A and B are shown apart, each in its own frame.
Chain A
Amino acid sequence: MIEAELKARVHAPEAVMRLLDERAEARVEVYRDTYYDRPDGSLEKAGEELRVRTVHGADGTRTVLTYKGAAVDEESDSKPEHETRVEAADAAHAILRGLGHVEVIAFEKRCRNYDFEAYGRQLLATLVRVPELNGTFLEVETLVDENEVTAALDDIRAVLADLGIGADDLTRETYTGAVATQRR
Chain B
Amino acid sequence: MSTALDPIELPAWAWERAEVRQALRARDIGALFRYVQQYGGASQARIGVATGMAQARVNEIINGRREVARLDVYERIADGLHMPDDARHLLGLAAGREKRTGGPAFDLAAFPEVVRVYAAQNSAAAEIRQQAREAQELDVLAVRGLGLIGLNDSLLRACLPREQGGRGLRVRVALLDPDSDALAHRAAEIGESAESLAGGVRLAEARLRELAGTGDVGVWRYRMLPTWRVIRTDSTMFVGAFDAGWEGHESAMYKVMATPHGPLFRGFRRMFEAVIDGAQRTV
Contact = CB atoms under 8 A, between A and B. Distances in A.
A131 B110 contact: no
Interface string A1-26: 00000000001111111110000000
B260 A16 contact: no
A105 interface: no
B100 A112 contact: no
A23 to B, nearest CB: 12
B40 interface: no
Interface stretch (B13-21, B101-109, B210-218): B101-109
Interface in A14-72: 14-19, 28-30, 56-61
B92 A15 contact: yes
Contact of B70 (A59, A89, A110, A166): A166
A131 B117 contact: no
B112 interface: yes
A169 interface: yes
Contacts of A61: 116, 127, 130
Contacts of A59: 116
A100 interface: no
Given A58-B115, A112-B110, A164-B71, A135 B102 contact: yes
A110 B101 contact: no
Given A28-B111, A90-B133, A165 B94 contact: no
Contact of B71 (A16, A28, A89, A111): A16
B97 to A, nearest CB: 11
Interface string A134-161: 0110000000000000000000000001
B74 interface: yes
Interface in B83-124: 92-94, 98-102, 106-107, 110-112, 115-117
A7 B130 CA distance: 33
B186 interface: no
Contacts of B116: 56-61
Nearest to A12: B71
Interface in B242-272: 255, 257, 259-260
B72 interface: yes
Interface residues of B, number: 31
Contacts of B107: 110, 129
Contacts of A111: 111
A166 to B, nearest CB: 4
A13 B110 contact: yes
B74 A129 contact: no
B75 interface: yes
Nearest to A136: B102
Nearest to A26: B110
A127 B115 contact: no
A165 to B, nearest CB: 6
A173 interface: no
Interface in A95-123: 110-112
A169 to B, nearest CB: 7
A12 B257 contact: no
B92 A164 contact: yes
A168 interface: yes
Interface of A: 11-19, 28-30, 56-61, 89-90, 110-112, 127, 129, 131, 135-136, 161, 163-166, 168-169
Interface of B: 69-72, 74-75, 92-94, 98-102, 106-107, 110-112, 115-117, 127, 130, 133-134, 236, 255, 257, 259-260
7 contacts: A12-B72, A12-B101, A14-B98, A14-B99, A56-B115, A89-B134, A111-B111
